[in-house]
Amino acid sequence: MFMTEDSEKKATRQHLSPGPGKILYHLLNGNLEVAAEEAVDSNYPHLACALSTFRYSDRTAYRNQASGDDCFSPIMHWNKTKESKFISEDLLKIYLIMAGEMHTEINGKKIFVNEGLDGLRAFAVFVWYYEPFDAPLKEVFHAFENDLAARKATITLKCDMFYELLHLACDPSYPMEVVLEPT
């Protein structure tokens, strides 16, 4: 976890009102249990149930793609019926996380789950919620880099020792000089 429990409670009380924004906040901080509790407290019982089980269930139902003839994910359904323009972006991001997807395009607008997060926290979100959840680190790392490229995000991690070590762990041919002296 990135924040101490006390500072997290303080930040939550001061800045976030109940609802999808607060639920998303807890998800992005790796607090799945607290996110589910917040969904109950915010009167989202179906979301609370989904949050409490999605890590260990088949995520096909949440994917932003058809999974059968008449079976659509919530996001696909909202797109097809044009309801997505009435649904908060935070709620859309929650369902993307549950699908193991970190970005999508809805009604011509690109939505990135990791928008606004610092580099290591964004990578942590990938590690926590990537689908399949037992994917090798190398696969998650490449998906993270692809997400950065899709967002055209300036990578602030190029000088970060931990990021360079992760890169080396995923690619043994990565130059050791870059790890030892990141520029």
22 contacts 16 by C-beta, under 8 angstroms? yes
Q: How confident is the model over 124-166, as pLDDT tens digits? A: 888 888 877 788 999 999 988 888 787 776 666 667 788 888 8
Q: 10 pLDDT exceeds 50?
A: no
DSSP string, 71-117: ---HHHHHHHTTGGGGS-HHHHHHHHHHHT--EEEETTEEEETTTT-
Q: 18 pLDDT exceeds 70?
A: yes
Q: What is the mean pLDDT of residues 35-56?
A: 91
Confidence of residue 181 (pLDDT cuts 50, 70, 90): confident
List the chain domain ranges: 117-183
| pTM of the predicted structure, to 2 decimals | 0.76
pLDDT in the model for residue 6: 46
Q: What is the mean pLDDT of residues 25-30?
A: 91
Q: How confident is the model over 59-95, as pLDDT tens digits? A: 766 666 555 545 457 777 777 888 888 889 999 999 8
Task: Scan for tokens 């101490």, then name that residue.
Answer: 4
pLDDT in the model for residue 38: 96
Q: 123 pLDDT exceeds 60?
A: yes
Spell out the alpha helix ranges (H) of the chain.
5-15, 20-28, 32-41, 45-53, 74-80, 89-99, 119-129, 137-151, 161-170, 176-180
Q: What is the mean pLDDT of residues 33-50?
A: 94
